[in-house]
Amino acid sequence: MSKNILLSIIIPVYNEEDVLCMFMKRVSEVIKKIHNIKAEYIFINDGSTDDTLINLIALKKTYPQIKIIDLSRNFGKEAAMTAGLQYANGSIIIPIDADLQDPPELIPEMISKWQEGFDVVLAHRSNRDSDSFLKRFTARCFYWLNNKISTPHIPDNVGDYRLISRPVVDALNTLPESKRFMKGLFAWVGFKTTQVDYVRDERAAGESKFNGWKLWNFALEGLTSFGTVPLRIWTYVGALVAGISFILTLKILIQVIFLGIDVPGYASIMVAVTFLGGLQLIGIGTLGEYLGRAYMETKNRPIFIVRKIL
């Protein structure tokens, strides 16, 4: 490997004042031990309301390799990561969270895989016991469903923590969409990929900023970002319901005309109306998700706005 390979470490932060010092101390110790690697630390302050920015400015005095991208408000993690990718200068780039659930000690192994010729080195969570049962279960359901209905395939139990080479970043930076699902975009651009396994730790400090509602919306974003199968499903559901309705209609006609059986109407009508009404609302909601995405994309607004670079 040639000398002075620049590694860009991208760290989106939102209200992470409690972990920044621990993070920098631990990551910098890891980087010091890697031969012929120098690092820049790109922190994207995603509209934090605590002392995150103040602490970053203080840390910069100790670690001059830090670059702070201060966004004008909270745009969300996907936008913050996009900002980091656009401002990264390294030949290799690693996005990582500041909470230290993803161990920085994995970085040397990632770099070794890159030296072997891989453009993407995924950090695969071989054990997620640090997460709650509900989070693990819903994650499995999401990956299974997403990979059934969408292209490309998103690797199971792989987050944003990974190594990507400069060609991969350049490809990602050319993608124009503003509603970004980064796990899908990472998979979509392709390139030669491998993975390394690790066990996810508990958060070093602070609390997760993703609650159940945010995770649900994030999952919907992923399911509608890379395929139209959810729309196509409703064509088949409609055909199935119409077929069943036709059969029931024939049954009622036979009972009334040929057998003289009086068919009570109130209960059956209420069931039919509420059932079909529910199906229609779900179908309209699915259509609305796609229309909403198209509507937001036509506005062509920037993904993020930078207030200041420090």
Q: Which of 42-46, 215-219, 235-239, 272-276 is most confident?
A: 42-46
Q: Per-residue pLDDT averaged across 191-207, rounded?
A: 76
- Type of residue found at 12: P
Q: What is this structure's pTM? A: 0.71
Q: What pLDDT digit, counting tens, does each position of 65-121 carry?
A: 999 999 999 888 888 889 999 999 989 999 998 888 888 999 999 999 998 989 999
The rounded distance, in Å, linking the Cα atoms of 264 and 256 is 11
Looking at 182-260, list the stretches that DSSP marks H as alpha helix, in order from N- to C-terminal side: 182-189, 212-223, 229-253
Among 208, 280, 214, 276, smallest CA distance to 244 is for 276
Within 10 angstroms of residue 210's Cβ, the number of other Cβ atoms is 12
Buried b (16+ CB within 10 A) or exposed e, 121-159: bbbbbeebeebeeeeeebbeebbeebeebbeeebbebbb
Classify residue 226 by its DSSP letter: S
Contact 160, 194 (CB under 8 A): no
- Type of residue found at 104: P
